[in-house]
Chain A
Amino acid sequence: MNPFLFILYDIKRLFGRGKTAFIAMLSPIPVILMFALFLAPVLTQGNGAFFSGAILNEDNSESVDQLMNIIINYEVKKGNVAVYPVKEKETGERMVDEGKVAVFMYIPPDTYADSMNGNRVVMEFYYTPSRAFDALTFYTGIKSSLSVFGQGIRLVNIAVGIAKKLGLSEDEIFRIWDEGVLDLQNVFIHRGRVIGKNGIFLFGADYHFRFAIALLFATCAYMSSFPVIYLTSLDLSEIFNKRSIPAKRLLLYFIARIISGAILILFSFLIMFPVARLLRQIELNFALSVIPGIILTSLVFSSLAVLIGSMFKRGQSALWAGLYFGTASVASVAFLSDKTDIPEALALLMRISPFRASVSIFSNGMFNLMIERYAFDMFVLFSAFVIFSAAGFVIYMKRSAL
């Protein structure tokens, strides 16, 4: 029999009437829906802005006005924010409550004067619960940078203290003051440039999305291997156990199963690129670099499924084993992969985990390719594929009635 026909025959068996492949392809959708719950307003907003906001600046000082103009104009130009100035605090809050804007920022009177006199000033960031997810991402950025700006004012205060101690004239002290604050403003508006990027806020705000998407697709891919586990176990206990099959032909069956399983698993990756593209611009070379990762991941999960399926006599037991192994792998990557205070043996297992390597390829390779990590992850996947295949075939042979 032609080896190609072997694979085709196995695909037919594995895919049933296409139902299993269809389910595998659709499996990531529910979790994507969960993301959509939070991201839909961002993705569907007509004007393309990250979000719209209202602002009330009750501080009439030139410095604050200038600073806010610099921040807002930049973000407006970039298309991140659409800003509507309001005249009363209540109007801004009402606009948020009525869903007309996502956030409202309030700058209280004497913000500049109070902070320059060493008094703490607290501004308000009012946001709608339905936009909590992205509003709070923006808030975290603005809070930390404003906080550093505020602490910088303390430095200027120390300089002014020294100037006063040296008995400088009031004009001179004001000059030091103004120049110091101007320096801080200058630093503040160029904060992104220190890492070679444009913009003021929202650097790295999408890392958790990247990680979550990668985890989601790797999980769905793993789940798609369940039919492979079940069918392998069933084959070995029923067909191969009763009939003597030569080793060469058995190897052909084995390879055909791994390939057909990998093809089934590949279905679960079909919608990964459109989803990633929807969330973020991905460069073509990065996207292409992920394709070998997808193929290798599919082969690894397929060979693992064949190994698990070969280990258990009952298909149901093999499936339970696959389910628990998958759950443990997903949980460890989700909660442990970045932890260092875990036992060394566990840390090592995490490093060589094919599931982690797969997640890492998608979360890093697709958006920001670091070639050394990519190579290491591919090596882990390839090694896992070889080990799982070799171990799988040994058990496969032992279980069959050779």
Chain B
Amino acid sequence: MNYFALLKGRARALLMDFSSLAVIIIAVVVSIYISKYSEKENAKGIIIEIVNEDKGLLGSRLIDILSSEEAFKYNVTSYDEAVKAVAGNKAQGIIEIVPDFSEKIGRSEYESLVHITVMADSYDMTTFTEMVINDVIKVWSETLVEKRIGEIQGVSQSDITEFREEIKDVWNRESLLDIESVMGKEEKTEEEENYFGIRWYAVFAMFYLCISGTWMCNYSSTGLLRRVSGRGGKITLLFIFQSLPGVVISFLGFIPVLITSGHPDPCNVFISFLIYICSSAAFALIICCMSGKFSNLVLISPISTMVVSLFSGLLCELPDWANLWGTTSVIIPGHWLYEAILEKRFFLGAMLVFACWFILGICISWGFSKKKIH
């Protein structure tokens, strides 16, 4: 059995098959982007339609205050146009100022001063309702205080004008009452650097190995497996030589990701990724064997990759209460890569996990190949 010919053929197939190679290229680009990603992005760009039906002046004041909010873009329009824009996905929300807005505020009535229509088309809409309420409160507070000033004996129109001038700036100034969030002690050190670039690349790489394991599936695998088994070839060697090109490509893609991540201990992460990617290849072998058909593989690959990456902590941090999941994830290769990224001990655990997955993969593929032959 010429395993090197298999290796050469597999490497050529992987390099020539741009569709599967594109997965790893996209993974590198996305991971580098994540490493460099600034979390300062905000909700700018979401369009909100304002329908001002107020017969008084306070509706315009509300529009002024709303317009100073940087998170959203506002269009003042008619009700029909606003509905049309939201229905056609040209805007994500409507603020409808009721006709008796000024009158109600003047009478200190607070019931339904504005009607809000919100389309849950974006994560950023979460803050929208609170923002509108706060801005209505601002108009209301201004009116109430102005009313109190009007009740002061001897107050002149110039005093009220002076008040109106002063309040123009008041909402842009620092609040006298503030509240600061302080996170509990447990995870402060981990939160400083999360290295999502490396972690998510590892997830992508596992997905790539699973999705490119088509040689194990029906249309090619049974043929290849049957031929190799029939000629007395060893499944272990077949697996090693078939997986090697994919492992090498994933590994090469990891180098720029690691360099751009700025990890303080790149050597250890490098070694741990090498072990991780080999274990992932064994995992991919199992997934491919169990999928049977390529259409099932395409369905199972993203799901299984997501599950193991989630429980190993690569996709996102596991919360404290999920201790059981954290403990059981030691059997998943990603757990040890995660440990290495956090500069903890990993080598022995990672090697043991690799050995287990490798043996399991070989046994399962051997079982499947026997089943196919029969």
Contact = CB atoms under 8 A, between A and B. Distances in A.
Given A158-B167, A316-B214, A319-B298, 19 more contacts: A16-B293, A20-B296, A34-B316, A37-B318, A115-B177, A126-B184, A139-B179, A146-B179, A147-B175, A147-B178, A153-B177, A158-B163, A176-B152, A195-B132, A204-B130, A227-B299, A364-B120, A367-B120, A373-B87
A373 B94 CA distance: 12
Nearest to B104: A194
- The list of the 7 closest CB pairs from A to B, nearest first, reads A150-B177, A204-B129, A150-B175, A338-B122, A372-B87, A320-B19, A130-B320
A23 B89 contact: no
B137 A187 contact: yes
A122 B180 CA distance: 7
Contacts of B293: 16, 227, 230
Contacts of A372: 83-84, 86-87
Contacts of B131: 144
A223 B209 CA distance: 19
B313 to A, nearest CB: 10
B92 A338 contact: yes
Contact of A320 (B20, B132, B144): B20
A128 interface: yes
A297 B119 CA distance: 19
A205 B170 contact: no
B235 interface: no
B303 A337 contact: no
Given A34-B315, A180-B145, A194-B110, A125 B180 contact: yes
Contacts of B136: 194-195
A30 B308 CA distance: 9
Contact of B298 (A156, A226, A337): A226
Interface string B110-141: 11111111111111111111111110111011
Contact of B126 (A191, A207, A229, A364): A207
B295 A230 contact: yes
Contacts of A360: 89, 119, 121
B307 A30 contact: yes
A30 B303 contact: yes
A129 B155 contact: no
B170 A155 contact: yes
A316 to B, nearest CB: 6
Nearest to B323: A130
B179 A129 contact: no
Given A155-B170, A370-B119, A129 B187 contact: yes
A41 to B, nearest CB: 6
A242 interface: no
The size bracket of the interface on B is: 35 or more
A337 B45 CA distance: 10
B364 interface: no
Nearest to B214: A316
A375 to B, nearest CB: 7
A180 B178 contact: no
A148 B134 contact: yes
A152 B120 contact: no
Contacts of A129: 183-184, 186-187, 191, 319-320
B69 to A, nearest CB: 11
A120 to B, nearest CB: 6
A331 B116 CA distance: 28
A247 interface: no
A55 to B, nearest CB: 12
26 contacts: A121-B177, A123-B179, A123-B180, A125-B179, A127-B184, A132-B183, A146-B179, A150-B175, A155-B145, A163-B149, A166-B153, A183-B148, A192-B133, A194-B110, A195-B136, A207-B118, A207-B120, A207-B122, A207-B126, A208-B125, A211-B125, A339-B46, A364-B119, A364-B121, A368-B118, A370-B119
A358 interface: no
A19 interface: yes
A338 B124 contact: yes
Contacts of A235: none
A341 B149 CA distance: 45
Given A20-B295, A319-B294, A121 B178 contact: yes
A120 B176 CA distance: 4
A40 B321 contact: yes
A338 B148 contact: no
Contacts of A33: 307, 310
Nearest to B167: A155
B5 interface: no
A19 B241 CA distance: 30
Contacts of B175: 120, 146-151
Contacts of A338: 43, 45-46, 92, 121-122, 124-125
